A and B are shown apart, each in its own frame.
Chain A
């Protein structure tokens, strides 16, 4: 008997699943539709299709400044958390040191703890060490919190790595340094790219930690946040639609990369949430 013939039909359950999908996607659909509505957010049905809100958005320099700020913070966070996450993953995979299991749990804490705690603890640290809230402190917060994601993704990559290749390289006279650059790193390429994309997305979207560390220059989510206090306009729908489209684009890249070697799967850190606490 093949698998597919054992699949039994369950119409009620299928209906319920459709309902859940509708619940998950309805807000996103509404958001996108109303970004093209001339008469603003709300009212039903939406009438008068317009691209006007996108025109307003593209002329809005403070939004684009905040996008630039977010891109800078995200790029810097990717670089730093990937670097430190790689070392942390190597350390967890290969080195024994006192407090190793404590370290493993500590690195993962920002994933599991409410963002407000990580945010205000870093605010206290900034005040304590005389740093002024700015994009630099935001970067510090993002990079530190996201080491957790880099470490889980790269540790999973290392676990799948074929140790024999490294042993062979060392036996054949390569230095540990050469082995690292020529064997370890190329084998981790996919995990590195995947973790990088994930960290980039999470940093672009981060609010809870940023909230406490932001100075005069806003990141994109904080700029949107500030505008929401003044009331809602379809311009926010327009930028939200663009954020949605870019997130999905990054996700498609992710799946493409993952599917090539491992079969498409969800991010490692999500799978480990239940296990690593």
Chain B
């Protein structure tokens, strides 16, 4: 129905643009990771030294491990908050369902920076939380370790990603065929059994999608550690960012980025694979 000219006209501009400003830049990251810096100047001297440094210097493994740990904590907390919320909305909220759903969506539109900044003002040593604790006479001195800790990073990222985890879980729960639940109950299953044997397995693809998303985006975050993390909350993307700034070693930074990219894409593929397996059951 559409002519050849029409098809060419619509495909060509986005293809060229995406090729130039997306594919080529990603390829440049890969190219940089194979170059080197000698005497403060970047040279196009193809080698694998950056990758060797990553694999042999334990410092990178330590930061990567901490990053994974933070990302896993965020994912777990976001599921623990998001799943029951989605469950409540899908099965028990009744007439208020639509309103409550919109209330979960609103924060998604509110600036990442605004929300991060809010946590900074709450957790700081002259912050709102310390003021509150002293007001209740629970503490006398300001507590210093709320802010600038891995805990603060996990808290802030959990706050950001809980709505993202909620969404696919809620969508999955809404699609659980209601007659199945009645059948389960008619056949004598308790509501706990119905949850574990019927609802949870059917919502697994949504859970996996949300979890993958929260994990992957936490893994590559460098703003939360800068904002509320402090030195003990430094994550892998902060290493990249400092290599592109003061430390000036683009090739090494690029090699770490390729590492992040590989981990991210593998996780997305794994998530997709698992979702498909669950969907077929």
Contacts and interface: CB of A to CB of B under 8 A. Distances in A.
13 contacts: A14-B92, A24-B107, A90-B10, A95-B10, A96-B7, A106-B23, A109-B26, A116-B241, A118-B25, A120-B254, A125-B28, A144-B22, A176-B3
A88 B13 CA distance: 8
A167 to B, nearest CB: 6
B111 A205 contact: yes
B244 A123 contact: yes
Given A17-B88, A44-B135, A266 B111 contact: no
Chain A interface bracket (under 10, 10 to 19, 20 to 34, 35 or more):
35 or more
A271 B92 contact: no
Interface in B169-218: 171, 205-206, 208-210, 212-213, 216-217
B134 to A, nearest CB: 7
DSSP majority for the A interface?
helix
A20 B18 contact: no
Contacts of A4: 94-95
B219 interface: yes
Contacts of B128: 30, 34, 41-44
Interface stretch (A57-65, A71-79, A239-247): A239-247
Contact of B134 (A20, A44, A113): A44
Contacts of B74: none
B183 to A, nearest CB: 14
Contacts of B85: 16-17, 20-21
A114 B163 contact: no
Contacts of A42: 121, 124, 126-128, 130-131
Nearest to B94: A7
B110 interface: yes
A120 B88 contact: no
A122 B21 contact: yes
A116 B240 contact: yes
B171 A271 contact: yes
Interface in B85-115: 85, 87-89, 91-95, 98, 100, 102-115
Contact of B117 (A84, A115, A236, A277): A236
Interface string A182-209: 0000000000000000000100110110
Nearest to B135: A44
A24 B113 contact: no
B243 to A, nearest CB: 10
A148 B24 CA distance: 17
Given A176-B2, A243-B111, A273-B168, A121 B10 contact: no
Nearest to B16: A84
B221 interface: yes
Contacts of A144: 17-18, 21-22
DSSP majority for the B interface?
helix
B48 interface: no
Chain B interface bracket (under 10, 10 to 19, 20 to 34, 35 or more):
35 or more
B198 to A, nearest CB: 16
Given A28-B118, A107-B14, A117-B257, 11 more contacts: A14-B92, A20-B81, A21-B100, A43-B126, A44-B128, A45-B131, A91-B15, A121-B257, A124-B25, A176-B6, A247-B109
A250 B209 CA distance: 27
A247 to B, nearest CB: 5
A152 interface: no
Contact of A266 (B95, B105, B208, B250): B105
B132 interface: yes
B229 interface: no
Given A44-B131, A124-B25, A212 B244 contact: yes
B25 A122 contact: yes
A124 B114 contact: no
Nearest to A205: B111
Nearest to A32: B118
Contacts of A23: 81, 159, 162
A82 B209 CA distance: 27
Contacts of A273: 164, 167-168, 209, 213
Contacts of A264: 98, 102
Contact of B111 (A120, A244, A251): A244
Interface in A209-234: 211-212, 221, 224-225, 228, 232
Interface in B216-258: 216-217, 219-223, 227, 237, 240-241, 244, 250, 253-254, 257
A91 B220 contact: no
A41 B121 contact: yes
B68 interface: no
A273 B272 CA distance: 11
Interface in A61-115: 84-85, 87-88, 90-91, 94-97, 103, 106-107, 109-110, 112-115
A273 B271 CA distance: 12
A250 B10 contact: no
A106 B25 CA distance: 12
B275 interface: yes
A110 B213 CA distance: 13
A144 B95 CA distance: 41
